């Protein structure tokens, strides 16, 4: 039987921040755009407020590697649907990082100043809201009070949330049934489809190969997945494109590219290397309710000082005190108040004794005080130690269940990364254990490191030996093949990465448009923001003109 080969101008693999943004700009510019998304298509009515299997597991992937567990999105809209919406620009010193290699890791053309116009584009499109202290949930206020008492500063966190619509339900991991969280479902993706882009859910890309049709560059093979069990194939197909944008996420993009090497020719050595978990380090503080009253003078309700761990939005406040550009690398980090649902309770250590840390009476007693917890996320400077092994026969990882996969990623934190984690642990204890306010216990143990911010597995850079992409996000040696997701980010960022991932995708779009035009696509760059805003667009155009692009 002959397989029908479809054709499109631009094929985008993935529909999160890295995929939705180029899909919009290319479609709005006149190109025929097709988006293949591995996960299902969900909307507000599908986001239930429970943790039943078959609910959140439809959209969230738990990927187990060797030494690390990664949480990622798996649906139309990608991780933007399940993230906690903290939207921060990376500190300027991040772009000058040298890491264990001892030389600048970001391309010379990429600095905080040069990325600011593209941050502006994203903030105008989403947009990002600035919380006041009246918007910050009670746990964020408790963390701020503890910081103040310990002589540290603390500030509300900017969020991609419509604060007027948000009900503070604290179910962001399950999407947003009130459409208050400004995921890609509410801006770039609907604007892309309105401009003619086609989004196909449950389409998992397997390989990229040379096209067989004159005028087309790449042929992409995909599987269609069953909507109730992603392990079951329901079909397959081929589609050719003049331009391919890979935005399958830092856990999938390098796997697709490595599997495609036998068809496309050699891949840059950096594909699947230099993975970063954004230096994520989570600690649980078991808070003493009496000390909350006596030391901080707080009361959430009459006679109840705190017991507010699950109250409000997942992220409220943050201390930036340790983001000092003059401090040595691997000693800089931020501390952020964050909420994780009850399913993660097992990760909290009950004691310092390995024999009683995970099970037994101490663990049961700790979990019984769950409402008096406060969790803190440190985002540190790790050293990009992760390396992917050979790709599995299909998919990005071996899927054991609908939301559980086994990856070939191996992660062993080195002395530099461990130093950063230790510094963050000391600071968390200095703030939260002062005068017995709380007892701090870092997440660790059987799961190894845990990250919700996978980065850098196919990173941009100037050095071909250590970066897979050039400074315009094009894969070295493969013209017209771009990578625009979190895998392109060269290093950990010390803050939540979503806004930087989106800004880098925005920045790559003019280059993708340029390549598409060279390939004969009738397309131009310059669309306004999805809601029609033009201020940030006009500033970005001036930036391009000033650079000669």
Of 427-431, 487-491, 538-542, the poorest mean pLDDT is in 538-542
Question: Rounded mean pLDDT of the chain?
Answer: 94
Residue 158's closest CA among 94, 93, 84, 82? Answer: 84
Q: What is the pLDDT of residue 367?
A: 78
DSSP code of residue 296: I
Q: What CATH number belongs to 6-547?
A: 3.50.50.60
The percent of the chain in helix, strand and coil, each rounded to the nearest 5, is 30, 25, 45
| Residue 294 CB coordination number (10 Å) | 14
∠ CA 24-25-31 to the nearest 5 degrees? 90
- pLDDT, position 51: 79
315-319/438-442 β-pairing: unpaired
Mean pLDDT in residue range 277-285: 95
Q: Specify the pTM.
A: 0.96
Report the pLDDT value the prediction gives residue 368, as an integer from 0 to 100: 81
Tens of pLDDT, residues 395-413: 999 999 888 899 999 999 9
Integer angstrom CA distances of residue 147 from 16, 319, 499: 34, 8, 26
pLDDT for 290 equals 97
Mean pLDDT computed over 126-132: 96
| pLDDT value at 445 more than 80 | no
Inter-CA distances, 453 with 184, 251, 526, Å: 17, 10, 30
Q: What is the pLDDT of residue 1?
A: 41
Sorted by where each begins, the domain ranges of the chain are 6-547
pLDDT(350) > 80: no
pLDDT band at 362 (very low <50, low <70, confident <90, very high): confident
pLDDT in tens, 87-102: 999 999 999 999 999 9
State the Cα–Cα distance between residues 533 and 539, nearest whole angstrom. 12
pLDDT of residue 459 exceeding 80, the answer is yes
């Amino acid at each position: 039987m002959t397989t029908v080969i479809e054709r499109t101008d631009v094929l985008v693999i993935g529909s999160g921040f890295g995929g939705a943004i180029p899909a919009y700009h290319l479609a709005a510019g006149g190109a025929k755009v097709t988006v293949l998304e591995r996960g299902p298509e969900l909307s507000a009515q599908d986001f239930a407020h429970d943790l039943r299997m078959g609910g959140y597991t439809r959209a969230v992937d738990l990927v187990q590697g060797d030494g690390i567990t990664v949480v990622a999105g798996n649906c139309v809209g990608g991780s933007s649907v399940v993230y906690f919406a903290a939207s921060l620009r990376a500190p300027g010193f991040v772009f000058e990082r040298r890491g264990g290699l001892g030389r600048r890791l970001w391309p010379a053309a990429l600095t905080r100043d040069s990325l600011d116009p593209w941050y502006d584009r994203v903030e105008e499109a989403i947009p990002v809201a600035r919380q006041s202290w009246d918007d910050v949930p009670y746990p964020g206020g408790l963390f701020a009070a503890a910081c103040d008492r310990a002589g540290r500063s603390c500030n509300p966190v900017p969020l991609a949330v419509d604060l007027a619509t948000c009900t503070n339900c604290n179910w962001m991991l399950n999407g947003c049934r009130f459409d208050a969280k400004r995921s890609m479902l509410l801006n770039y993706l609907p604007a892309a489809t309105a401009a003619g882009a086609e989004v196909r859910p449950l389409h998992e890309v397997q390989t990229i190969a040379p096209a067989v049709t004159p005028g087309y560059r790449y042929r992409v093979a995909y599987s269609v997945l069953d909507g109730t069990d992603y392990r079951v194939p329901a079909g397959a197909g081929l589609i050719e494109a003049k331009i391919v944008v890979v935005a399958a996420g830092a856990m999938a993009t390098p796997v697709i590219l490595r599997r495609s090497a036998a068809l496309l020719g050699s891949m840059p050595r950096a594909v699947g290397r230099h993975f970063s978990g954004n230096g994520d380090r989570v600690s649980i503080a078991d808070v003493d309710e009496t000390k909350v009253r006596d030391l901080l003078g707080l009361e959430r309700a009459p006679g109840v000082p705190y017991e507010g761990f699950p109250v409000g939005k997942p992220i409220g406040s943050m201390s930036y005190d340790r983001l000092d550009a003059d401090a040595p690398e691997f000693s800089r980090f931020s501390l952020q108040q964050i909420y994780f649902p009850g399913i993660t309770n097992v990760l909290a250590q009950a004691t310092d004794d390995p024999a009683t840390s995970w099970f037994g009476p101490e663990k049961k007693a700790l979990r019984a005080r769950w409402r008096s917890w406060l969790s803190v996320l440190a985002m540190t400077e790790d050293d990009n130690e992760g390396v992917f092994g050979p790709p599995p026969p299909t998919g990005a990882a071996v899927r054991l269940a609908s939301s559980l996969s086994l990856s070939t990623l191996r992660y062993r934190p080195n002395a530099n990364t461990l130093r950063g984690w230790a510094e963050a642990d000391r600071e968390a204890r200095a703030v939260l254990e002062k005068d017995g306010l709380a007892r701090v216990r870092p997440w660790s143990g059987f799961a190894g490191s845990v990250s919700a911010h996978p980065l850098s597995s196919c990173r941009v850079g100037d050095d071909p030996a250590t970066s897979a992409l050039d400074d315009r996000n094009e894969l070295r040696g493969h013209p017209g093949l771009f990578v625009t997701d979190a895998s392109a980010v060269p290093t950990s960022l010390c803050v939540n990465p979503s806004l930087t991932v989106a800004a880098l995708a925005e920045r790559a779009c003019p280059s993708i448009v340029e390549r598409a035009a060279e390939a004969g696509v009738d397309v131009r760059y310059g669309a306004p923001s999805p809601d029609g805003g033009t201020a940030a667009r006009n500033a970005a155009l001036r930036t391009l003109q000033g650079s000669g692009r």
